[in-house]
Structure 1
Amino acid sequence: MSDTNAIGLHQNSASQLAEKLNVLLANYQVFYMNVRGYHWNVKGPQFFELHAKFEEFYTDLLTKVDEVAERILTLGHKPVHAYSDYVAMAQIGEDKDVHDGEACVRGILKGYQTLIELQRDLLAAASDADDEGTASQASDYIREQEKTVWMLNAYLG
């Protein structure tokens, strides 16, 4: 039996990366639902601006959910796919009944900060495992989300 998977990574390393990716996937899924809820429920003077911006965010998050799940499959493992598992695994908690625009933005900011932290850990592990595919994906997400964090902080003043 081979010590490597279909893409040439050591089985043990791929398994560890898949675990980290499943945790990331769980956080993305809970965060996606939070942002979707902000989009639906935001009220106040910035409604039109925030409603549109939140749609941009959740559309991007949904794309990343799929990309993370597909990376887990590429590593030869199974993505978690039950919402109960997502809630149990995620560091990002469900944010219910939030409608104040500033509170919504703060929830999004906190979510992105959590994702960045998880992705930095994933990036380090992927680099140690010589997994360029996972490292590149994490790096791209970090770069993009760091800019979003800067913009959200600027919005909040």
Structure 2
Amino acid sequence: MKKVMQYGFWTLVLVSFGLKAQEFSGDNELEMAVKQHYAGQADKKAMTLSAGNIVTIQQIGTRNFSNVNIKAASAMVNVQQLGANNYLELYKSAQDINQTVIQQGSNNMVNDYSMNPYYSVNNQVIQYGNNLNYTSYGTNSISDDMRIIQRGNSGSVLIFNR
């Protein structure tokens, strides 16, 4: 319980240094941006990457928030927030990181904390709906290659890895 309180405290401290999203004023702009995004996906998949760290954050909508802190020898992190009032806190320390977070809807929240520099992380968190919450603490062999898909409204997932 003490560690959870410490994580909560540090989360609160680090949340104050966030990344704000651009805002689109009309529905047509949102629809056009989504179409452009999916048209460009084929080009991104064909790209071969060398060693290094790449973090891509795409926010389409209003008042989306992402705070991504990555420490790894090699990392590929993709974040998509499509909607309004979506929130992401991602703190990872690992040997290799391959992480995808997709939030499509409104008022969704992802909190993902993992500080184990000896593991490789390969995760996907996908939220389709509104008022969905996902929180994960830690990394182990069971959580590697984990794919979480939340659909619907007002659901929560809480994962503790030891």
The structure whose residues are more often helix, as a share, is 1
Give the number of the structure whose residues are more often strand, by fraction. Answer: 2
> What band does the TM-score fall into relative to the shorter chain?
under 0.3
Tell me: higher relative CO, structure 1 or 2? Use CA pairs within 8 A at least 6 residues apart: 1
TM-score by length of 2: 0.22
The TM-score with structure 1 as length reference comes to 0.22
